Amino acid sequence: MIIDFHTHIFSPAVKERKMDYVRRDPLFAQLYADPNARLATVDELIQTMDDQGVTASVVLNIGWSSPALCCESNDYIIESVARYPKKLFGFAMVDFNSPETAINELARCVKNGIRGVGEVRFSSAQLSDSREIQPILDYIIEKELIMMVHTSEPVGHSYPGKGDSTPDLLYPFIKSSPKLKLICAHWGGGMPFYFLMPEVKKALSQVYFDSAASPYLYSPGIYHQMASLVGDQKLLFGSDYPLLTPKRLLQEIESLNLPALTRERLLYTNAAALLEISE
């Protein structure tokens, strides 16, 4: 069994009127203004899952710039999970610049089965000093939600939406919220390499890392390295669909001769435990 912990879906309305949303939202424009940037609906995701042997997927939102756009896209994720309750787990998005509005929206989403928040893109100021967003974080912790944060590498090539959520900024944020169920996307922007420092390993002992977009970022040896650095119980399989299909990453993983237990934890067991899936 396979759980893809990092996918994105958009409603048919967003897909059909993509350029309208490009004009309305700066992050959406960064990610999808390119005519070749693909958007996928829930039905396209489900078809891909069935074709490529994926048992379940986490469907993520993006960091919209307004509460209205967050709410609109949350509605589609809630609707999608309701249509495919055994195959999908939904994550919502809120505007972290408006704590009261954000908490109200999260309360609505929790009532409708949302399991987490993400893929969050914090500003450098929010990462450096999280006091203003602390009420939102406290609510996420209280409701035992999972948070996924976008992370980026401080070196290497540039790409649309890379951002600046680098390990040096993420580290104080993680230390300040030790009870937060946190996933750092894209292998944490290289954060696991600092696990060789004992104090970092201790501070990040509850953090997970996903493989989203891995072939665009690292050579295949990253899987062995990450398992060695953070332990294979902290790894999650994520494709970043529709940027990449699960098949692309699964073929890479199959070529590595990972230990059977590591492969099982990466592809299913760790995610199932986080999502509280019972056999």
Q: What domains can be seen in the chain, in order of their start residue?
A: 3-275 (3.20.20.140)
Query: Average pLDDT for residues 101-122, to the nearest whole number?
Result: 97
3-state secondary structure the chain: CCEEEEEECCCHHHHHCHHHHHHHCHHHHHHHCCCCCCCCCHHHHHHHHHHHCCCEEEEECCCCCCHHHHHHHHHHHHHHHHHCCCCEEEEECCCCCCHHHHHHHHHHHHHCCCCEEEEECCCHHHHHCCCCCHHHHHHHHHCCCEEEECCCCCCCCCCCCCCCCCHHHHHHHHHHCCCCEEEECHHHHHHHHHHHCHHHHHHCCCEEEECCCHHHHCCCCHHHHHHHHHCHHHEECCCCECCCCHHHHHHHHHCCCCCHHHHHHHHHHHHHHHHCCCC
Strand partners of residue 116:
91, 146
pLDDT at 159: 82
In this prediction, residue 119 has a pLDDT band, given cuts at 50, 70 and 90, of very high
What's the CA gap between 76 and 59, in Å, rounded?
10
Distances from the Cα of 88 to the Cα of 44, 47, 169, 224, 266, angstroms: 13, 13, 31, 28, 18
Angle at 32 between CA 4 and CA 67, to 5 degrees: 80
User: Which band of pLDDT confidence, cut at 50, 70 and 90, is reported for residue 127?
Assistant: confident
Q: What distance, in Å, lies between the first and last C-alpha atoms of the chain? A: 11
Mean pLDDT of 101-107: 98
Any idea which residue has 């929790």 for tokens? 110
Neighbours of 38 (CB within 10 A): 12
181 exposure class (CB count in 10 Å sphere: 0-12, 13-18, 19+): middle
Report the chain's mean pLDDT, rounded to a whole number. 95
Question: CA nearest 65: which of 21, 124, 109?
Answer: 21
| CA dihedral over 157, 162, 164, 165, signed as positive or negative | negative
Range 242-258 average pLDDT:
96
Beta bridge partners of 114: none
Which of 26-35, 131-140, 161-170 has the lowest average pLDDT? 161-170
Structure tokens at 266: 């990466």
Q: For residue 279, what pLDDT band results from cuts at 50, 70 and 90?
A: low
Residue 130's pLDDT band (cuts 50, 70, 90) = confident
Question: What does the block give as tokens for 35?
Answer: 């005519």
- The phi, psi pair for 103, rounded to 5°, reads -65, -40
